[in-house]
């Protein structure tokens, strides 16, 4: 779990601002749900035989009333629960996004933390593949906004439950016929969740996994049509993708479209965003059946990538730094900097006295574009000296304190 401190926190704020602007462009609305949910929500929602539920949840018993509670390991279950609880889909679909911390008890390493942060979207109440295309393409738009050129898109279709059942039987038969090649985890999952064996990271099992029957061969007409329609829209939008038959995703709730955005610039933790359709989840959480699709994006991983090859966020520097040679001037200084701040300027006030020279040093280090010098002579004339700090050619000026509303806004960094 990390502390996020200045100056790094500026990158986070810039990222979040970028995300909020993106969401407005796609007409997705913000949703905020509690960090803590009842444990059964995740057990039911994510599936009992998933990495998260088996070994990654921070679960505890509420000592006041015995409720089994869990720090949310992901965002979808909570959002869907909230929609059900508030009957929010009564007047049609909802397109939502969230930003916030998630918790998983994993082995910490680069790009894998126990408290990490996700942006996610959930589009609920829409069955058609155009929403699949929309949520995928909004990621592309975000990569563009962040200056990330080289993120790869993998897609797959998981079909529907009956199609997966037929495939599952074939898969179990394949693995049983090669039982001696299975590792311990795979043997344990063989009958509970054989699809997850395809997700194995064990290199020794790769040949066996490569040779396994592919779900795509078991999809019916409707599932194939949905997948083909999505592909046609991605093609038309000029978004390249790779069909990855082994992309099954970690949670049980997915059906039809699943996808991941992957980069090879982050070592082993190369997936920066993953998502898919979950048409059965609303009902599983106790609501009326309604389709849904969404994705979750790991902010730490995205910011790691941004730092390597993306845009640099604008440095958060003040427009002006107020130099206070004599504490007696403070009432006038405070009145003036408040007026400037009210006009939208970022103003840093020098605190703690010291010589003019040391105050100018601080002004310089702050990155401010101007120093405001509230010297005795200036104040006696009802003025403040404005000294440009970043432009050697620009001259110092004297400005009337009474006219701060006129000259103040001109100091704003363009
Ligand atoms: P992985 O295969 O890397 O464990 P996952 O399939 O468990 O990922 P999801 O549950 O799909 O991940 O979460 C969506 C995104 O959240 C991931 O693509 C990743 O960017 C990020 N993420 C997941 N777990 C962590 C973690 N422990 N620390 C940091 N980011 C994470
Ligand atoms: Mg994981």
Could you read off the pLDDT of 20-63 as tens digits, one per residue? 999 999 999 999 999 999 999 999 999 888 889 999 999 999 99
Return the pLDDT at 193.
Answer: 84
Ligand 2 center to residue 206 CA distance, Å? 19
Return the pLDDT at 315.
Answer: 79
Q: Is 104 in the pocket of ligand 1 (CB under 6 A)?
A: yes
pTM over 0.85: yes
Q: Is 300 in the pocket of ligand 1 (CB under 6 A)?
A: yes
By alpha-carbon position, which residue is closest to atom 3 of ligand 1? 269
Q: How far is CA 308 from the centre of its chain?
A: 17
pLDDT in tens, 334-386: 999 999 999 999 999 999 999 999 999 999 999 999 999 999 999 999 999 99
Is 8-159+219-308 a CATH 3.30.420.40 domain? no
Q: pLDDT over 70 for what percent of the chain? A: 100
Where exactly are the structural domains of the chain? 8-159+219-308, 320-411
Return the pLDDT at 212.
Answer: 93
The DSSP bridge pattern shows strands 383-388 and 370-373 to be: antiparallel
Return the pLDDT at 245.
Answer: 87
Show the low-confidence residues of the chain (pLDDT under 50): none
Ligand 2 center to residue 50 CA distance, Å? 9
10 within 8 A of 313, measured Cβ to Cβ: yes
Q: Which atom of ligand 1 is nearest to the CA of 297?
A: 15
CATH no. of 320-411: 3.40.50.800
By alpha-carbon position, which residue is closest to atom 2 of ligand 1? 271
Return the pLDDT at 374.
Answer: 97
């Amino acid at each position: 779990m990390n502390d996020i401190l200045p100056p790094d926190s500026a990158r986070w704020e810039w990222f979040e601002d970028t995300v909020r602007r993106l969401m407005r462009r796609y007409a997705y609305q913000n949703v905020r749900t509690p960090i803590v949910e009842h444990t059964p929500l995740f057990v039911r929602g994510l599936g009992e035989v998933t990495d998260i539920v088996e070994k990654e949840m921070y679960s505890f018993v509420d000592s006041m009333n015995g409720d089994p509670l869990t720090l949310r390991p992901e965002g979808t279950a909570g959002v869907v629960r909230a929609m059900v609880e508030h009957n929010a889909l009564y007047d049609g679909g909802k397109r939502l996004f969230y930003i916030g911390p998630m918790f998983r008890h994993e082995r910490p390493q680069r790009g894998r933390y126990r408290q990490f942060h996700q942006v996610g979207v959930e589009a609920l109440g829409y069955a058609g593949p155009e929403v699949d295309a929309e949520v995928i393409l909004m990621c592309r738009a975000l990569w563009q906004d962040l200056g990330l050129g080289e993120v790869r898109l993998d897609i797959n279709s998981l079909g529907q439950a009956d199609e997966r059942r037929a495939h599952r039987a074939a898969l179990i038969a394949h693995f049983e016929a090669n039982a001696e090649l299975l590792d311990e985890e795979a043997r344990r999952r063989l009958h509970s969740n054989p699809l997850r064996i395809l997700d194995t990271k064990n290199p020794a099992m790769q040949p066996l996994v490569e040779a396994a029957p592919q779900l795509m061969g078991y999809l019916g007409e409707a599932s194939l049509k949905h997948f083909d329609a999505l592909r046609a829209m991605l093609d038309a939008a000029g978004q390249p993708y790779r069909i990855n038959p082994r992309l099954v995703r970690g949670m049980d709730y997915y059906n039809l479209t699943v996808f991941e955005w992957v980069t090879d610039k982050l070592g082993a933790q190369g997936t920066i965003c993953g998502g898919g359709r979950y048409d059965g989840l609303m009902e599983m959480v106790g609501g009326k059946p309604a389709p849904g699709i969404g994705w979750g994006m790991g902010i730490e991983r995205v910011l790691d990538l941004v730092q390597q090859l993306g845009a640099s966020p604008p440095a958060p520097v003040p427009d002006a730094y107020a130099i206070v040679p004599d504490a007696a001037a403070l009432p006038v200084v405070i009145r003036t900097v408040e007026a400037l701040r009210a006009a939208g300027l970022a103003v840093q006030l020098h605190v703690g006295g010291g010589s003019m020279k040391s105050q100018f040093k601080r002004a310089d280090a702050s990155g401010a574009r101007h120093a405001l010098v509230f010297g005795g002579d200036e104040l006696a004339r009802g003025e403040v000296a404005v000294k440009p700090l970043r432009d050697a050619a620009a001259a110092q000026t004297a400005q009337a304190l009474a006219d701060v509303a006129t000259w103040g806004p001109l100091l704003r960094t363009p």
